[in-house]
Amino acid sequence: MKRIGITGQNGFVGKHLFNFIGLQNETFQRIDFEKSYFDNEKTLDNFVSSCDVIIHLAGMNRHGDPQIIYNTNVKLAQDLVNSLKRTGSKPHIIFSSSSQEDRDNLYGKSKKEARLIISKWAEDAGAVFTGMVIPNVFGPFGNPFYNSVVATFCHQITHGETPKIDIDGELKLIYVGELVAEIVKAINLELNEPECSIAHTATVKVSEILALLLRYHKQYQLKGIIPEINNNFELNLFNSFRCYEEIENKFPIIFTEHTDNRGAFTEIIRLNVGGQVSFSTTHPGITRGNHFHTRKIERFAVINGEALIQLRQIGTDKVLDFYLSGSQPAYVDMPIWYTHNIKNIGDTELYTIFWINEFYNPEDPDTYFENV
């Protein structure tokens, strides 16, 4: 079992990597990292000497003074190397650099300089080093106005703000989940490559991103319609968009019932994408679920009985409680990376309709069990 440490564990990519590695508990053991370790040689040395693999993600992307960005990123790399030398440790180091390395800006220069500092240590020490040169990364839970234009647009649109395009450039993008897979692959292969270019998985103009997000807003956020999704990039973009909504204030959403002397008719979901619809009955006191997905889109619709649906974002402690009743049929959608369950809290049978955007595949279920 390899012991894995991640500097920048609480950053955008770091959180996703930390959570994903936690799913591989028969292969990897996570070594916790805190930002303060870089301020104390003893705690940094303890961390470094405890790891078989260190993914160095800690760094600064934006600041009013570009020189501070440069100084910070270079110093963090040098501090890590100094600790490796003090402890005589030779873990596999994976460093996240940027495709901006060769651009005329201090951020790109700082990433290249940091990569070269660690590469020189690895060469001298006979250690394994993977220097990843990474394109623009997007995905759920990124910080708006900091991590990516996707994060900024998603935040603005879901919060009633108006996005603005400064330069309609063409972006080469990789989804954070795809990047995590590349990092895990490098760990497993013990990839010794001081300059390893990570391929982008999508090329798209800023205006095209904005147009898709505005469509998701109009169809999904305002009307609850699952939009047309044509490829993996659009699926990843839609799932990213959903994670910027303030879901605690959104759900449950009450269905519109059409009643007459025959009874009632209720429309459950409008789809511009395929998938699978299921139906369940749940006995009083029974809880279903306690799992999460990393790519699937899912809707729970309660049509009879009394239910408590709970959600919790992986890596956090806040539990969201949604109470639904068949007397007023309603639904809750499950964002990715939120573990969720549904419990029958009534005295009668609970009837629930489930929709998910892909057929169940036992070879690739994308279902990870964790109690809410």
pTM for the full model? Answer: 0.94
Is 220 contained in some domain?
Answer: no
Is 335 contained in some domain?
Answer: yes
184 plus 264 within the same structural domain: no
183 plus 284 within the same structural domain: no
Is 129 contained in some domain?
Answer: yes
303 plus 181 within the same structural domain: no
Count of domains for the chain: 2
Is 60 contained in some domain?
Answer: yes
Nearest Cα to Cα of residue 241 among 301, 178, 367, 156: 156
Contact 133, 95 (CB under 8 A): no
Report which DSSP code applies to 37. Answer: G
Helix, strand, or coil here: 316? coil
255 plus 194 within the same structural domain: no
Give the per-residue pLDDT at 115: 98
* CA–CA gap between residue 79 and residue 356 (Å, rounded): 47
Look up the domain containing 336 and give its range: 248-369
73 plus 179 within the same structural domain: yes
Nearest Cα to Cα of residue 209 among 253, 175, 257: 175
252 plus 187 within the same structural domain: no
* Amino acid, single-letter form, for residue 168: D
Is 160 contained in some domain?
Answer: no
Give the per-residue pLDDT at 264: 86
Is 155 contained in some domain?
Answer: no
Give the per-residue pLDDT at 62: 87
Give the per-residue pLDDT at 184: 97
Residues of the chain falling short of pLDDT 50? none
* CA–CA gap between residue 107 and residue 70 (Å, rounded): 6
Give the per-residue pLDDT at 102: 86
257 plus 194 within the same structural domain: no
Question: Look-up: residue for tokens 């596999």?
Answer: 92
Report which DSSP code applies to 160. Answer: T
Q: What is the 3-state secondary structure (H, E, C) of 268-291?
A: CCCECCCCEEEEEEECCCCEEEEE
Q: What is the CATH number of the domain that holds 347?
A: 2.60.120.10
pLDDT tens column, 304-354: 999 999 999 999 999 999 999 999 999 999 999 999 999 999 999 999 999
Question: What residues form DSSP beta bridges with 344?
Answer: 307
* Helix runs in 126-228, H state only: 149-158, 176-189, 206-216, 222-223
197 plus 253 within the same structural domain: no
Pairing type for strands 170-175 and 136-138 reads parallel
Is 208 contained in some domain?
Answer: no
256 plus 124 within the same structural domain: no
Nearest Cα to Cα of residue 303 among 279, 277, 278, 326: 326
Give the per-residue pLDDT at 25: 79
